[in-house]
Amino acid sequence: MTKPANAASVHGVTSAQLAALIDISAVQAFHTENDVRQLAEIAVGNGFIAAHALPNFVPLLRDLIPVEGLTLVGGPIGFPSGGTATKIKVAEANFLEDAGAQELDMMMNVGRLKSGDLSYVADEIAAVIEAVAPVPVKVILELYHLSDAEIRTATDIVCRSGAAFVKTGTGWTPSATTVEKIAIISEVAAGRAAIKASGGVRDLDTVAQMISLGVTRFGINTTVAVELVRQVEALPDGILSLPA
């Protein structure tokens, strides 16, 4: 499969390049089969890099999105609490891989992290990564529940685990994904893992600042994602400028 390159330059991004940085999803408890069908249509039609659905809908999503297209299919693990047992997360990861998911977003065990049981957190991430390698795994920190010190600790654990991305949130909590929090993650990650900003990203100024800090993937509400791409199209020369 040919995947869209992250063509964002130090100067700016076009609407197509922005779409190639955005995941859209239908992963709330109330999302229906019709929502998943609409998600697939919007993702493919707008050139979004990925579409994610709750695990039971991933086989359907896989059927709806062309395998050789530009849009990847993804699903979550241990979502949204992160509190399921490690062997359940591994089994869920295996199910999603078998269902055709091309990337997985795993919810970290926040309670274990906050309890200081860092080896449990690290071992669990490693177990999931090993179970589905080479399928890329993004690990969700859920920033809303973490102090800045805990964000630093969690980011380092994720980076040392070999995960593809550090992801900020599920979208199931009040937003805590700010430019300031991204700056902390970027400093600690230092290029060891990519960064996905998810939850509460709603405007182009925030997107531009986060890209300048190293974010290469966004999880954005579907309606907002389409609107942001349209806004870039309407900018002078059709380019979103990035901070120097």
* Residues forming the active site: 105, 167, 196
b/e code 63-85 from CB counts within 10 Å (16+ = b)? ebbeeeebbbbbbbbbbbebebe
b/e code 134-155 from CB counts within 10 Å (16+ = b)? ebbbbbbbbbbebeeeebebbb
Residue with tokens 């902390």: 184
Residue with tokens 């991004």: 13
CB atoms within 10 A of CB 221: 17
**What one-letter code names the amino acid at 95?**
F
**What one-letter code names the amino acid at 104?**
L
Q: Please give the torsion angle defined by the CA atoms of residues 13, 14, 17 and 18, in that order, rounded to the nearest 10 degrees.
A: 80
Structure tokens at 75: 């699903």
